[in-house]
Amino acid sequence: MAIEKIAFAAAPNDNAEKSAAELRARYGDAPLEEADVIVALGGDGFMLQTMHANMTRNTPIYGMNRGTIGFLMNEHGPDDLLERLNNAESSVIHPLRMEAEPESGGVQEALAINEVSLLRQSRQAAKVQISVDGKERVEELICDGVLVATPAGSTAYNLSAHGPILPLNAGVLALTPISAFRPRRWRGALMPREARITFKIREIYKRPVSAVADAFEVRHVHRVTVSEARDISVNLLFDAEHGLEERILNEQFIP
């Protein structure tokens, strides 16, 4: 189906808002419920916000960089936008589903495009037991934290924590410790995308831990379960020959 109707979304900064106004004047601005595509102008943070806000719409999202790094964005340019959109390559991303159980009770769910992170809340290192599909794999990880990253998010916090870069279609998730003290030699693991990873926090009052799914945080958790949400898809569009798969692959060769 040809892309004709565009809905524009702009980050709250002068560059993004000015560009959005120019593009709306040239191409119109369709309501979200009628749009064939959403064009997001801003940086990677705004792109993540746009993806979360439209996760259930099944509308493709095309980013234009009006921020800083712009890893998830295309180059900004007002000309030939309809042609670029109709020739764009598609990358489908499945988010992670976090089920966090705080000490106060209940379960709080959230979705993450990049990663789910467990982080210590105090000066005390966290103590975390890790199980995969019901089988204990790490009896006690003493650390600043631990995270599960998607391939799309593997070049973000995961990479900063010395986790592996994952090709988009690798079919795995990264399980990466953050400043692990014990066991010293454990550097993380690659998990099949079907895996259900459970973290149980030890000494929750002495060593409190928070769980974060992208920007959504639950504090004082005692158990967190992470799995891929295969029932939810986010469709990102990239200019031809500059797709997300190529960008992630290229990151492995940047010194």
Q: How far is CA 185 from CA 141, 144, 181, 189, in A?
A: 11, 15, 9, 12
Q: How far is CA 242 from CA 62, 89, 91, in A?
A: 12, 8, 11
CB atoms within 10 A of CB 160: 10
> Which residue in 14, 29, 36, 44 is the catalytic one?
44
Answer yes or no: 133 catalytic: no
Q: How far is CA 111 from CA 130, 207, 244, in A?
A: 20, 25, 20
CA gap 218, 81 in Å, rounded: 40
Q: Provide CB contacts within 8 A for 46, sequence distance 6+.
A: 9, 11, 16, 40, 67
Please give the positions annotated as active site. 44
